[in-house]
Amino acid sequence: MYRNKIVFALLLLILPFICCSNKDDIAPGDDNKHDDDDKDTVYLENRENLQRVKGNSIQIDPLVLYSLEITPQELVSDLKKANITSVHFVVVNKWDGSKDDQIFKPEFLEALEENGIAIWLMLPGNCMYDQLPGEWEMEFVKPYAEASLRFYSFHNNEYVTWQEERVKRVFENYDFAGIGFAESYFPEWRTLYTNGHYGDVSLATRREFTREYLGLDRSALSFDAIRNNTEWYYKWQDFRVEAITDFNRRMKKAVRDANPKALFASWGIAVGSEPLAEIREWYGLDMVEIAKEVRPDLFFIQTSYQDWGDPALPYDYIKNYEHVRKAIQEANPNVKLAVQADIASLSFHNPGVGVRVPDWWLEFIELSTQLGYYTSTSYEYAFSKKQGLWIE
């Protein structure tokens, strides 16, 4: 009996150390990495930037911005009129992440930071107005009409690796609050029935699908053969989805490795009230899977051309996106939802058509907040300013 009491007393002494040892032995940095790997926990190292980007945002093409010949102070004044908390600088060329004062003029970056306005970098995932190696390009069923716009394939490992290295260089030179890759999907909505701008159907992609994905010891299947075989076409959809999910996964890891305090945003898309299954089929974009498996910090739902190209589009059109928002949020309750509108493109390219006056945008912002979006952004400040549509 006496010996049992001694053993019990010793257990009381050492039990607190046993219970706490796993937690206390993990260095702060390791603990954060563990949190990011565990689907049931929340990554904490970038919480400060997450708080900074909450609220109203606007997309800015820096080169179009500089053509306005306004000062950094005038820009800040305009942004404050709309209670902007963050901006997304949009870069659509093959800039590789190196320091470039012509793209990011220091006086503008400094003015934004001094006024507490967080700066995102937004890059297109599937295209740019520049030439990268030709073998990285997508091939469409029919050639794309605009020769200056090049599309690059998520199936090409060298292209994805180039984007990873680009992210690393970005954070070696800039302290952005976060990065997002918009238009990270395969073109394009139901184009097999229209203009044939459907990709990627290149020989390299079809060969990979045939030999590595299907495991067939034969030459590359034609796209017609894939499309007309029900089993192969379903697997083709999975093949495309896996490539885009993996792209998001690799970009998130690149951001985490380069700057653990920065945010990573995945970008999806919605087309009216069209179902998620249709979006998955045509864009290769499984937003529920990305939310579950990649677990981005934020998830932006981009407005499709089918919606923003409608001159009569009402400000409350995002009510049609509720099934998308709810599905993403259910798949990952921790991800912050965001939505993007286009307030200037239609009327800029077609003067007088579909003009979205400031009240339209302000009502859109207010509704997005009511629906539960953490932030909203719109394309684009400089084009809006050129048309005299910015808030006075």
Q: Which pLDDT value is given to residue 38? A: 64
Question: Does some domain include residue 391?
Answer: no
User: Is 16's pLDDT higher than 50?
Assistant: no
| Domain encompassing residue 28 | 1-41
Question: Does some domain include residue 244?
Answer: yes
Question: Does some domain include residue 288?
Answer: yes
Q: Which pLDDT value is given to residue 41? A: 73
141 plus 193 within the same structural domain:
yes
User: Is 170's pLDDT higher than 60?
Assistant: yes
Q: Helices then strands (H, E): number in the chain?
A: 17, 10
3 plus 70 within the same structural domain:
no
160 plus 281 within the same structural domain:
yes
246 plus 378 within the same structural domain:
yes
Rounded mean pLDDT of 223-235? 98
Give the residue among 369, 381, 311, 360 at the shortest CA–CA distance from 339.
Answer: 369
At 152, the pLDDT band (50, 70, 90 cuts) reads very high
Q: Which pLDDT value is given to residue 36? A: 63
Q: Which pLDDT value is given to residue 9? A: 38
Question: Does some domain include residue 392?
Answer: no
56 plus 176 within the same structural domain:
yes
List the beta strands (DSSP E) in 115-168: 118-124, 127-128, 150-151
The single-letter code of the amino acid at 2 is Y
Q: How many domains does the chain have?
A: 2
283 plus 340 within the same structural domain:
yes
Spatial contact of 185 and 125, defined as CB atoms under 8 Å apart: yes
User: Is 150's pLDDT higher than 80?
Assistant: yes
State what percent of residues in the chain have pLDDT above 70. 90
H or E stretch at 232: helix 230-258
Joined tokens for residue 371: 């629906």
User: Is 21's pLDDT higher than 90?
Assistant: no
Rounded mean pLDDT of 243-267? 98
At 7, the pLDDT band (50, 70, 90 cuts) reads very low
User: Is 339's pLDDT higher than 90?
Assistant: yes
At 240, the pLDDT band (50, 70, 90 cuts) reads very high
State what percent of residues in the chain have pLDDT above 90. 88
Maximum separation of any 2 CA atoms in the chain, in Å: 94
Rounded mean pLDDT of 88-105? 97
79 plus 30 within the same structural domain:
no
138 plus 6 within the same structural domain:
no
190 plus 250 within the same structural domain:
yes
User: Is 285's pLDDT higher than 80?
Assistant: yes
Question: Does some domain include residue 333?
Answer: yes
37 plus 167 within the same structural domain:
no
Cα angle 327, 252, 339 (rounded to 5 degrees) comes to 40
Q: Which pLDDT value is given to residue 40? A: 60
d(CA 55, CA 342): 17
2 plus 95 within the same structural domain:
no
pTM: predicted TM-score of the whole model, two decimal places: 0.90
Q: Which pLDDT value is given to residue 42? A: 83
DSSP class of 296: -
Question: Does some domain include residue 279?
Answer: yes
209 plus 242 within the same structural domain:
yes
**CATH number for the domain harbouring residue 138:** 3.20.20.80
Of residues 37 and 17, which shows the higher confidence score?
A: 37
Spatial contact of 342 and 303, defined as CB atoms under 8 Å apart: yes
Q: Which pLDDT value is given to residue 39? A: 67
Rounded mean pLDDT of 95-124? 98
Average pLDDT value for the chain: 91
At 323, the pLDDT band (50, 70, 90 cuts) reads very high
pLDDT tens per residue across span 196-225: 999 999 999 999 999 999 999 999 999 999
